[in-house]
Structure formats: C-alpha cells, structure tokens
Structure 1
Amino acid sequence: MTSAVKKVRKAVFPVAGLGTRILPATKAMPKEMLTIVDKPLIQYAVEEAREAGIEQFIFVTGRGKGALEDHFDIGYELEAVMTARGKSLAPLDRTRFAPGAIASVRQQSPLGLGHAVWCARDLIGDEPFAVLLPDDLMVGSPGCLAQMVEAYNEVGGNIVCAQDVPRERTSSYGIVTPGASRGRLTEVKGLVEKPKPEDAPSTLGVVGRYILQAEIMGVLETVGKGAGGEIQLTDGMAEMIGRQPFHAVTFDGDRHDCGDAAGFVVANVALALARGDVGPKVRDYLREHA
C-alpha cells in the first residue's frame, strides 16, 4: 500500500430496505436475516468484510430491523443454556464483536441507496469506506471485498465491483462506460443508472460492493433524485469520475441475487452442495427428483 492510500477500516451495510420482492417472508423479518443454509445473509456480508480487514461495521437500518443488531450482540440466555447442556459455543464465535465495532444509524425515509449511504456520513468522517449490499451474496476465495481492497491498495480512489450482464438486463444495473483494462481491473470513464439496452454504454454492470472516498458524502447531499425518484449512489459516484481515480474490479467468484426468490433458492442449493455436512443429502435429493 502506498503512503497516499488510506486503509479501508469502515464498512456501511444499507439494511433499511423492505424486501418487497420476497414477500411474505419479509413481512415481519428483515430480509437480511433470511438464512442461506444456516447463516443469515447479513452474517455472510459481515464475514466478508472482516476478511478484508474491516474494523468498524455500520448498519443503516429502519423500523423493524432490531434483529440485525441483536444477532451480533451477546446472547446471554442462549449461551447460558448451551453451556449448561455441554454444547459448544463455537457456532456463535463469528457473531461476537469488540465493544464499539458495530454501530447503527437510522434511515427514516426510503429515499434510495445514495441516501442510505449518506446517512452514515458522521460515522465515516474523512475516511475511505466500503459499502456492502447483503442481498448480493458473493462467494469466492478470497472474498469479493478482499479482492477489491487488493486492487484499491494498488490504484487508490474509488472502486466498484462489476460483472458482465446480459444486454437485455442493463436496465436493472448501474452500467460502466469502460476505459482501459488490465486483467480484472477496468478504468471507469462514466456511470449511468439503469439504462435501456439500446442506450447502455457497455454490459459491465455494477453489483453490490463498493470502496468509496469520503468526499462522496458531500456529493450525495446535493446530487438530487435520479432514477425511480430516489437518490442514486450511481449518480453520486458518476460525479466523482475525473476528480479521483475510479476503477471497476470484475469479481472472481459467484454472485447470487438473494433479494429475488429464485436467486435465494439457488444460493441455498449452491452453498449447501459445497458443504461436506449437508451437501451429500441435498445432492441425493436433487439426483432423485431431477
């Protein structure tokens, strides 16, 4: 890491969304607490951030999201019962954090992803930070954010995670106007939010991982509403292009859109098959019912 590149120590998790694509499952439960095999989505994202060296985890929450904070608190009653019964507490190890490592702030109104990130401005201060969308379950080794941090330490500035998407689906993504490419690193010349296929500058779509400089908070404060009448993070990032280095990293791994019912089921199957303890039974079932 060069002396000019500040370490990425903080991560923002925008978790105030309602999860309307998978109702009624999310009527009373935060979508981020839905489990893939035996861990909630939020834990996969937090573990990915931990692997990448993140030290402070900032949840941007809304009403009814208390279970997210409880999940990463100490469960005294649960631990007492497990201990009394001679059960190992090891399954809870990755849900424990040092005091102050988890912080939360409310997004009172659903004004978009850019607004959710902006809500964390006072906790971010003047530091670079990561943003992770738990809906996007990224499976790879090393993890997605660790791959991005490696690139960030080399080039600095702002980094987005990207993948090639079908042209007919560009209207569901922020799309990159690409510059020079080197390996999995592509210079970002422009960003457009959810363009029509015929208007898309490429098929390189931004997915739910970002490393951003603190200056974007000032941009988000004034950028105004964009696509869907919301304050779009893509619009804020587009304003940063030309001011600071800006690159896209193509993730070496698999992405599952768990905010969608089909994607959620596929993620459960994929991660179950990769597990030595549950994979054989799931594989046998699929073989019998294919």
Structure 2
Amino acid sequence: MSVASPFIKIGSSSSAMAAWAWLALLIPCSIYSILYHPDFLPHLLGFALLGSMAESVYTLIIRRKRRLVCTGSAFSAALLAASVPPTVPFLPMLFAILLMVWIIKLPMVGSPLRFNAAMAGRLFLMLVYPATVVNWGIPAVDVISTATPQELYRSEGYPLEYSRWLFSRIEGSWEGLFTLVPGSPGETFPLLLIPIGALLIWKGIIGWRTPIAFLVSFGIMTAVFGNDPLYNLLSAAALFSAVFIVADPVSTPMSKSAQVTCGLIIGISNALIRQYTFYTEAIVYAVLIGNCCAPLLDKIAFELRGRVLVNR
C-alpha cells in the first residue's frame, strides 16, 4: 500500500475511500449552497474538475501514466474552494489551483517535505489577492461592514449566541455595526462536521492522532489566552481543518508519535498566530508550519525507535 492525499492508503479500496471523502465534503457544502449561495456547489465541482484537468496536463507533459479521474488534485481543489469566500473570482482560483497542483502537490510526490496543497493554494490567494479572501459581501447602507461570527468575536470580543449560528441561518446584524455572514463553507455547520469526522476515522479514511492533538492543543491555548475555547473550536474553520486538512496523511508525519507532535504544533501555532497577529483564521500558516516540521519529527521518531530496538 502507498500513501496518497487525501486518503491514508491506496489499494483495492481506494475508490471506496475517495467516495467516502467526497461524500463527507459534499454534505456540508451542499447544505451551504442551499442556504446561502445556490451557485456555490456547481462552482465547487467546476474547480474540482479544473484540479483534475491540471493533474492530467502535468502527467501528460512529464509522460507519467495518466488516470481517467485525478481524484487527489480534484479533492484538493474542492477543499480550496470550500476554504475561501464563494465570491472569489475565477482567475485567482485558476492561478491558485495551477500553483498547488503543478508546483506544490505533484512535484513533491515522494519527497520527505510535502505541503498541504489546499493550504498552499489559499496562502497564494492571501498574499496575491488579499481582498478576495476577506470579501464576505457588500455591506448594507445602515451598517459599517460585514463579519463572520469569528471575526465579530475577534474584533469586538462578542461571542454570538450559539443558537444564532449553530441551529439557524447566520444572518441579521449586531449593534447596527455589522451584518452577520456565514463565512466560507468550511466555517459553517460545526455540529455536522463532528459526526462526519468520527465516521471518517471509524472507516479508516483519516487518522485520529493529528486532528485530535490539534483540537486539544488549540483549545487549551485559547483558554490560556483568556478566550472561550469551545467558541473558538466550534466557530471559524477549526473542525473543518481537523477533518479535511490537518488529517491529510501525505503532508503530516508517518510515525504515530510524530503525528501527535505535529498536531500539537499546528494547534499551538494556530492559537499563537490568531492571538498575536491580525489574522482571524491562522490555520493556513499553522498547517504549513506543521508540514515543515513533519520530516524532522519523523526522523527523530524513527531514530528513537531504532535506538530502543537496538538496546533490547
């Protein structure tokens, strides 16, 4: 068996794994599309197709064996679409998908250092097209700006009532200053993401060590900083990242102990960046920091295990 994103292993059951992963992603994205943006789901599928086409072109150029459906790149492109506002224009998304497939994902196959493709694509958008990544819509005349629940908590220290964003549409206004918007598809439906993540772990689609270590360390650090850990875990993209990003077996370590350590690094980094910078959602940098540490963590883990076996 060999490892390939976004799944733990490739073998006779890889098609079933792909189906489970796609089903897990499409459930919240479909609900988001129904409630907020009817055209979002077609856009997501279109970007997934674009990711698959980009991989096909790459394999054609370097004369690798071509596959009819390039599931990994398609899924990474869909994750990118689910992590940004649905209003991001086509051209920036095209550039981001080409970068993550042609420069990040495929050339790094077999390399010890592997970055999460979706987060690399989102970092590109944050640096080159920063306005598009924070554009949640046009504010109404009687308000100053729009804000997601997490942005409202970050800027005003006000945690939106759980009932207003866990069990109903995110809408309305706050104090006549902010219109409330849902954010990206990956920032919504936390109560739905919990059973989805549990199902994927139970089916063996993703591992549990890295995402659990991420959630625990992130929750503890936010509490240390005097913030509400439950609100921070349920709002923004913490749960979505834990299920679909942090659990990526390709860009995280291979050894079990290193997986836990990597999750701790991502969780702590996410809390630190969110606390001491202006980034409301710091998961992009946190995941890429964890990816950078993965080869070293694996090397340390394997060397320690080798010493233990030698000394027995």
TM-score range, shorter chain: under 0.3
Quick check: which one's helix share is greater?
Answer: 2
Q: Which has the higher contact order (CA 8 A, sep 6+)?
A: 1
Structure that is richer in strand per residue:
1
